Structure 1
Amino acid sequence: MRQEYIDAVRSIVAMVPPGTAVAYSDISDLLGQGGPRQIGAIMARHSEGLCWWRVLRASGEAPSGHELEAFRRYREEGTPLRGRVADFERTGKGRWKVDFPSARWAPREEDFLAMDALADSLREPEPGNGDRPPATAPGMNV
């Protein structure tokens, strides 16, 4: 994966405020490329120093294998949860999820401007705009 793409994903994740969440697919949609699996792979390998628990499946399920730590962080941040939250707090058992419709991050205008700049930086320059050398016609020697 290109380092620029990894850096762009990390930049978006860093914008997500406490108490909110974003889906893997939201990030790929905001960047206009990749997909949920690519975002998940980046989060699995490059999430050090980031609020990884705020990036999850659109179903609201916490990142696999990190449910206990994510739950603790959701409670600290006041992230809306649903399901058997009280049972889980009491016994460590019971199914719960982030209440994604309530918790989904709603970026501000300045966030969108920053994300658009990130997405633009990932796009290849268009041919003929001076950023690339012109293509040589077949059979021409240059």
Structure 2
Amino acid sequence: MVDPHPREPGEDASEPVDEYTEEVLSVVERIPPGRVMSYGDIAEYVGRGGPRQVGSVMSRWGGAVPWWRVVRSDGRPAEGHLVRARSHYAAEATPMRPSGDRVDMREARWDGGSGA
């Protein structure tokens, strides 16, 4: 079986991806450009785990999916990734707060529905 989530350099290709990880990564892959979900939103959508479990998945496997579309509940990207995330947000016209360091969650949050 071909792994649908290729690993980034440094990730252990021999480690199997479990069902929860697959579900989380699948949700992240479906977030439309210019939209975001919080770690907690994804856990709620998947129906199990919590923000920390989603964060753990993203920390280990998120390099192969649009990781910048997963943010903290206040709209901040993962620690240490603001500069890289900003370039993606600009390219995708993601709504930002006036400060420019957080996504505007009221405008950019995606609920997992078919409409962007």
TM-score range, shorter chain: 0.7 to 0.9
The equivalent of 1:16 in structure 2 is: 31
Inter-partner Cα distance in structure 1 for 2:25 and 2:61: 8
The equivalent of 1:134 in structure 2 is: none
Where 2:43 maps in the other structure, the secondary structure is helix
Could you list the runs of 5+ residues in structure 1 that have no partner in the other structure?
Answer: 86-95, 111-142
Deviation at 1:83, TM superposition (A): 2.7
1:82 aligns with 2:97: yes
Where 2:63 maps in the other structure, the secondary structure is coil
Which protein, 1 or 2, shows the higher relative CO under an 8 Å CA cutoff with sep ≥ 6?
Answer: 2
Deviation at 1:30, TM superposition (A): 1.0
Inter-partner Cα distance in structure 1 for 2:110 and 2:104: 12
Amino acid across the alignment from 2:88: R
**How many residues in Structure 1 have an aligned counterpart in Structure 2?**
100
Cα contact 2:35–2:108 (8 A) shared by 1: yes
Is the helix fraction higher in 1 or 2? Answer: 1
Inter-partner Cα distance in structure 1 for 2:94 and 2:45: 22
Q: Please point out which of 101, 105, 108 is paired with 2:106.
A: 101
Inter-partner Cα distance in structure 1 for 2:87 and 2:68: 10
| Runs of 4+ residues over 3 Å off in structure 1 | none
Q: Please point out which of 40, 63, 67 is paired with 1:52.
A: 67
Alignment of 1:1-142 (within 5 A): 3-85=18-100, 96-108=101-113
Identity level (%) = 39
Cα contact 2:45–2:112 (8 A) shared by 1: no
Please, what TM-score do these two structures have when normalized by structure 1?
A: 0.66
Larger Rg: 1
Amino acid across the alignment from 1:33: R
Deviation at 1:100, TM superposition (A): 0.6
Could you list the runs of 5+ residues in structure 2 that have no partner in the other structure?
Answer: 1-16
